[in-house]
Structures are given as structure tokens and as C-alpha cells.
Amino acid sequence: MMEERLHRFARFRKLINNDEMKSLTEKSVLVVGCGGVGGYVIESLARSGIGTLILVDFDTIDETNINRQIIALKSTIGMKKVDAFESRIKDINEYCNVIKIDKFLDVDNISEIFNYKIDYLVDACDTTTTKKVLISECLKRNIPFISSMGTGNKFDPSKLEICDVRKTINDPLARMIRKFVKDNKINKKVMVLSSCELPVKTGDRTPGSTAFVPSSAGLLISSYIIREFLGKLK
């Protein structure tokens, strides 16, 4: 039965052994934010055989999401993002356990997400306050995590990298997180996805976004997680 379930991952399994593939089916990843970055994390983790995906997002799909969010199509406009992703994941791998949390996370309810088994947490939300609380909670609970910094107003995906937040440059959001880390005397590594590219100045409070920077960010994050699960990080 297990062999039948895993046949769809045959090309991936050429790169890893059976025990490694089975281990991925037993992992649980929580993703906060199912948008441009988070959506590609979810997509690629589902296509890599991750056993449980916990999706946290309160938003609905809007037409303006179509240029950068994998779940955004003419046919999905108006749907809850977590509902649309549940259907998509089940189309990819019906054996994946999908847990939906249709909520806007804030300091008052954020503790609820930690009632689940979490092997890795991805912060792909837009709210700085929520990011800070997620970082603090993950460090306190020893949960591995990656926090996505700003991909808006960026044009070059080759400038993306995963690193400790203290090593980031040219990223306004990362600058705020660096200050938070320093002010709170956090000594542990705070791993983030960031771009060293200077942001494009648009003169608008709402950031511009491409199809290729958020998607590349999401794929880098999922690659990092899979490689860490398999002990393949250099």
C-alpha cells in the first residue's frame, strides 16, 4: 500500500532512499500565510510527500493575486485560500493530511497553532508583530523555522538567500527584525529568507511584486526544509 502511495514521487525517489522518503511522509509543516511566498512553499512540500500541512490564513483570493500566487486563478477568485489549497493539495496527494486554520494570527490567539505537532514552521505572513511573536515562540519551543522577509519591490530572484537575519542587507523588514533580535538579546540563529537587492522605489505604500521573486523565495524555503529534514544541508 505504501509503495502505491509513493509511486507519484518516483522521480524524486531517484534522489533519495526509501527510508528518507518514508520519513518525509511522517513530517508536519505549518505555514503561516498562503500567499505569494507561502503558496509555493505549500505546493512544493505537497509535491515532495510531506505528510501533514497545517495552513494558516484568513484571506480570500483576489484578482490582484493572480500575478504572483499559485492558488490564484480566475476560477478561484473569492475562495478562501485555505479551502482552495486543501483542494489543490488533495489533487496532488490525497494522502496528505491538511489542517486548515482560517484565522488572522495576533498576540491573543497565536498560541493556538502550537497545539499541533510541528516539525517545521514557515512564517510567510505580512504582519511584523506576528513575525516577532512567531520567532519568539519558535525559539522558546525549539521549533525549527524560517521567516520570510520582504519580497515586494524586488526584481531579481538571484539575490534571494536563506541566512541568519543578522547577515541581511537592503531589506527594510529584515532591518526591523534585526532590531527586535538585538533589543531582546536573542543569541540563537534567526533564519530568514531575504533579498540583498535594493528595493525598487515605486512611490506607493502598497509594494509591487513579480511572478518570479515570491515564487523563487517559496521554492528556496521548501528546498531548505526538505534538505534539513534529510540531513543534506551543507
Query: Is a pLDDT exceeding 80 seen at residue 2?
Result: no
Pairing of strands 97-101, 160-164: unpaired
What's the mean pLDDT in 140-152? 96
Lowest model confidence (mean pLDDT) among 2-11, 153-162, 191-200, 205-214: 2-11
Mean pLDDT, residues 94-102: 97
pLDDT tens column, 203-228: 888 899 999 999 999 999 999 999 99
- In a domain? residue 87: yes
**Which three three-digit cell numbers place residue 19?**
527510508
When divided into structural domains, the chain yields a total of 1
- Look at residue 100 and tell me if it is in a domain: yes
Name the pLDDT band for 29 (thresholds 50, 70, 90).
very high
| Mean pLDDT, range 61-66, rounded to an integer | 97
Supply the pLDDT for residue 234: 75
Q: For position 94, which CATH number holds?
A: 3.40.50.720
**Which residue range(s) make up the domain with 58?**
14-150+211-229
At 1 the pLDDT is 63
Query: Is 4 among the domain residues?
Result: no
In a domain, 99, yes or no: yes
Integer Cα distance of 138 and 150 in angstroms: 20
Torsion, Cα 8 95 88 152, to 10 degrees, reads: -90
> Amino acid identity, residue 186?
I
- Classify residue 51: in a domain, yes or no: yes
Residue 159 lies in a domain: no
**Nine-digit cell at 186?**
536573542
Quick check: 43 pLDDT over 80? yes
Between 206 and 133, residue with greater pLDDT: 133
For range 185-191, the mean pLDDT = 97
Task: Evaluate if residue 3 carries a pLDDT over 90.
Answer: no
Cα distance between residue 151 and residue 208, in whole Å: 9
Q: Residue 21: inside a domain, yes or no?
A: yes
Is the predicted pLDDT of residue 174 greater than 80, yes or no?
A: yes
In this structure, is residue 71 part of a structural domain?
yes
Q: Indicate yes or no: pTM above 0.75.
A: yes
How many whole angstroms separate alpha carbon 167 and alpha carbon 39? 26
